[in-house]
Amino acid sequence: MNIEYRFTFRWTAERALKLEQIGATVDPPSDFSGECIIGVVHSAEGAPEWAGVSSLIRDWGGSFLVTTDFSAAEIAAADYCELQVTHANGYPQPEDDFGFRAQTYDTSKYCDECGAWAVQIAPFRVRKSLKWGRNAFLKLFWVEDAIFMHKDVWQAHLAPLGIETWPVEDTKGNVLDHIVQLRADTSVALQMDEDLGVRCPKCGRVRYTGPERGFLPAPVGNPDLPIFRSEQFFGAGHQSSNAILIRRDVVAVIQSAKLRGAKLWPCAAPE
């Protein structure tokens, strides 16, 4: 695996030159018309230029995001992987005043401070104009743990493995015949220490930041389920979601069929 950094900084030609002189490749800035031009540079932890880039970005008051790039072999060897949808388009309906929450969820335990503990009880409603591109998976803005697929792609690849679905409706409540949402109704705890999370000041429950470095903790009990969700919530601000995990055989089908629109994040071996 490689630990990948995406650094951002206030771009100037002088700063870009300094980064290039220590071996970094700076993305061309996309907009020269604004007062503050944001520069972007990528580097892997341990690369020859990484320490120098980190130092310069820190001195300039920049910021960074961290993620892990896993090899295909590391993904295939894991008993479970988190299915992280990367292609987002459209909003859950009705979107005004977040009306979709009352339409789609049981919010009796929902916390509006951390955004956790809403339980889906009805199909999502969406506009018919969702843009998929060449992607097999799609998520809506504001909702990280609802995974949508074209119905025919689900039927060909994931239905034979026992993955069931919710219907998806248009804004008037009519079932759409070409889209489904994957069901992950069972919650399974991950092997995570509560001390690593942050307790919500309003509801008192613990949540965690999403995975950044290394493997996701393994689920407890080695569940024999093709798809399930974590008991733990992940997020920041007023938005939280569960991790959606899939079994090794589902991972293999997604890899072999080259289904697009999602990233596979492997779990560690059980302790």
3-state DSSP assignment of residue 148: strand
CA distance 62 to 129: 37
> Tens digits of per-residue pLDDT, 134-185?
999 999 999 999 999 999 999 999 999 999 999 999 999 999 999 999 999 9
CA distance 238 to 169: 26
pLDDT computed for residue 28 by the predictor = 84
pLDDT computed for residue 34 by the predictor = 62
CA angle 79, 198, 270 (to 5 degrees): 20
pLDDT computed for residue 36 by the predictor = 76
- pTM of the complete model: 0.89
Stretches where the chain sits below pLDDT 50 are none
> Tens digits of per-residue pLDDT, 117-129?
999 999 999 999 9
pLDDT computed for residue 255 by the predictor = 96
Ranges assigned E (strand) in the chain: 2-10, 26-27, 38-44, 63-69, 80-85, 105-106, 119-120, 137-138, 148-150, 165-169, 175-182, 187-188, 198-199, 206-208, 227-236, 239-247, 262-266
